[in-house]
Structure 1
């Protein structure tokens, strides 16, 4: 899964990578958490008659997906992630997977290596970023939710997939990463159905990411400065597991954080 991430690139860097005509300024964010607004890139069909191409626009969306058919958000789990293998069939994500695929702009993400059942050891946080630095684009889904009073809010979730070699020792899921050469195809929901982009929802290539053990500062949302990405002083490498970790009831429910719905 992906439960925290970071965006420390400048607006100018984001504008250049995604080919945006304009973008509003924003500060670096080191510890982005669910329910917070996050920067996404959406594709808009051009208005010229007969032009099937899409333009790109940047907008803010609440990290926590709400399908349009939800009646009471307070009673619906907060969906921050969507499993890429089943998103096209799931009632919550099916429409967005077909019509509202987006890119979620990040500099990297955090993941926790959790000890085995019954262990008294604490979970170990890692800052996971591209080895070459720069911006990474996660595959995402968007839904504009309309409340009973007519207010609209854009909501989003990050698509996840099984881990690559670097992430496997830490966790059994990771965000889907869309390469720059595939941005257009991913965002083209007019011509590209989910089956046409299924080949993009694969683990990032081995050696794309590096995992840096960090301190427990990242565990608290209130800690939002660059110090959360500083390497832990007592960091030791973890050994790859002997076999793939089995999904537990807890990990299956990790995409939902219902208590966060109090913010609605």
Structure 2
């Protein structure tokens, strides 16, 4: 799964990397502790090209009467993405990329203490999570919402957690965004073993109020 992540890439650099036109309302960066319900950076494709927009992290199906009418859907399982009523249409028609620098996962000690790990690309490049999106609400309350697609963890990350975000490489972005026809379902599998690395970070990040670059500084394991 993915329940917290970091984004440090400047907005203009993000727009350039993804060849996307940026909105004027993008969230401030850097943010070393992006939490559910925060606005996140999302790349979507359209008739006029790619756009980089802010969307609420927490997918709201159209039948939700309020933002708290059901479970907080921050992740969508790849294995059931095409079948779950909440995500079925979005899987076919509303796929996106959610931009990150790295993400956090937790293990537990025998005493139950939660130990955070920071996971990032070995090559230092930004991460593009596969995502799905949904517009929700009416009139002035209308907003875009999204969820991160997750898969079974690859062997490398399975020592930390049994799930991981679906991470897409640049040559896969057009297919996932629907720019080059059908066949995106073949991307719904764990990525290469050698792309990511991880290290322990300070338990300060256990709080959703924590902030600052110290959150991604390594500490002794």
**Structure 1 stretches of at least 4 aligned residues deviating more than 4 Å after TM superposition:** 22-25
Does the alignment pair 1:142 with 2:133? yes
For structure 2, which runs of at least 5 residues remain unmatched after alignment? Answer: none
Closer, same or farther in 2 for the Cα pair 1:188/1:208, shift >3 Å? same
Q: Paired residue for 1:175, among 165, 179, 188? A: 165
1:11 Cα deviation after fit: 2.1
For structure 1, which runs of at least 5 residues remain unmatched after alignment? Answer: 47-54, 236-264
Does the alignment pair 1:154 with 2:148? no
1:207 Cα deviation after fit: 1.5
Q: CA-to-partner distance for each residue in 1:125-178, whole Å, 9 max, x for gaps? A: 10000011021100001000015x762011100000011122100000000011
Give the alignment's Cα RMSD to 1 decimal: 1.7
Q: Paired residue for 2:86, among 86, 92, 106? A: 92
1:185 Cα deviation after fit: 1.2
Equivalent residues of 1:84, 1:160 under 8 A apart: yes
Does the alignment pair 1:222 with 2:209? yes
1:30 Cα deviation after fit: 0.5
Q: CA-to-partner distance for each residue in 1:30-59, whole Å, 9 max, x for gaps? A: 01000110010001124xxxxxxxx10010
Q: Which structure: greater strand fraction?
A: 2
Aligned to 2:153: 163
**1:63-212 maps to which residues of 2 (within 5 A)?**
63-115=57-109, 119-147=110-138, 151-188=141-178, 191-192=181-182, 196-212=183-199
Equivalent residues of 2:114, 2:203 under 8 A apart: no
How does the TM-score come out when normalised to structure 2? 0.93
**In 1, distance between residues paired with 2:128 and 2:171?**
11
How does the TM-score come out when normalised to structure 1? 0.78
**In 2, distance between residues paired with 1:170 and 1:83?**
18
